[in-house]
Amino acid sequence: MTRITRGMALAAGLGTRMRPITDERPKALVEVGGKALVDWALERFAAAGVEDCVVNIHHFPELMRAHLERHTGTPAIAISDETGEVLETGGGVVKALPALGNDPFFVSNIDAVWVDEGARELDRMQAAWDPERMDVLLLLAPMERTLGFGGAGDVFLEAEGQVRFRGAAPSAPYAFAGVHIVHPRILAGRKAERFSMMEIWKALQPEGRVHGIAMESFWMHVGDPGALREAEARLKG
């Protein structure tokens, strides 16, 4: 199994869909199940053996800094400051590349919440990762085992785990679950400016370099107050 020791938690979003809660705190510090969303990501990383993590910040940066400074143990945290401009998923990762290094690393949204059922999902991702065949490995949630996801699905899983995006199809059986492994070679030459990682994935998909692995756990997308309430109820139950 490939051992991935670095990760990035994407925590710079404004959290507009989570208002009014995010009128007084960043989305990353909204609590579900007794802990902040960013801490769910950090604890998953630690359990998977991630030693170093970059967290990008923008909204209420002073609150984020204070929270992250209280973090002890693994992973060690470096802050990528995006207070001047939110760079979206792609630009945010590019800006953090000097701290992430040249080897594959995890990237996690902070609104993805689940409790592992059996093997840890990030361990399953590391076991499936093959840099010879893959540039990106997406964690995917079967649509029937999701909460808080309002879309019609994102992708299809095809032969040997290759991903095909939904495109014009009315629906797809899997949602992107907010975590992926990426090889930094696909970002070579890109500038730290606003762009989405989805642009990169869609460009690589026809080459068969974007793969996916289906989750075994129930996935919760905690993106708005309603989903937050539903997630709290499920975690308590």
Rounded to an integer, what is the distance from CA 51 to the centroid of its chain? 17
Give the pLDDT confidence score for residue 100 in this predicted structure.
96
**Two tokens, residue 234:** 């499920």
**DSSP conformation letters of 72-114:** -SSSEEEEEE-SS---HHHHHHHHHHHHH-SS-EEEEESSEE-
Give the pLDDT confidence score for residue 22 in this predicted structure.
86
- Out of 2.60.40.420, 3.90.550.10, 3.20.20.10, 3.80.10.10, which CATH number does the structure's domain 6-236 have? 3.90.550.10
Question: Is the Cα torsion angle 135, 39, 236, 47 positive or negative in sign?
Answer: positive
Q: Are strands 174-182 and 105-109 parallel, antiparallel or unpaired?
A: antiparallel
Question: How many angstroms separate the CA atoms of 97 and 99, rounded?
Answer: 5
The residue type at 237:
G
Find out whether 49 and 63 touch, Cβ atoms under 8 Å. no
User: Per residue in 24-41, is it b (16+ CB within 10 Å) or e — as a string?
Assistant: ebbbbbbebbeebbbbbb
Find out whether 155 and 166 touch, Cβ atoms under 8 Å. yes
**Two tokens, residue 109:** 């949204």
Nearest 5 degrees, angle CA 81-CA 203-CA 5? 45
Q: What is the pLDDT along the chain (237 residues), one digit of tens a residue?
A: 678 999 999 999 878 888 998 889 899 999 999 999 999 999 999 999 999 999 999 988 999 999 999 998 899 999 999 998 889 999 999 999 999 999 999 999 999 999 999 899 999 999 999 999 999 999 999 999 999 998 889 999 998 899 999 989 999 999 999 999 999 999 999 999 999 999 999 999 999 999 999 999 999 999 999 999 999 999 997
Question: How many angstroms separate the CA atoms of 232 and 92, rounded?
Answer: 29
User: Of 197, 209, 204, which Cα lies nearest the Cα of 94?
Assistant: 197
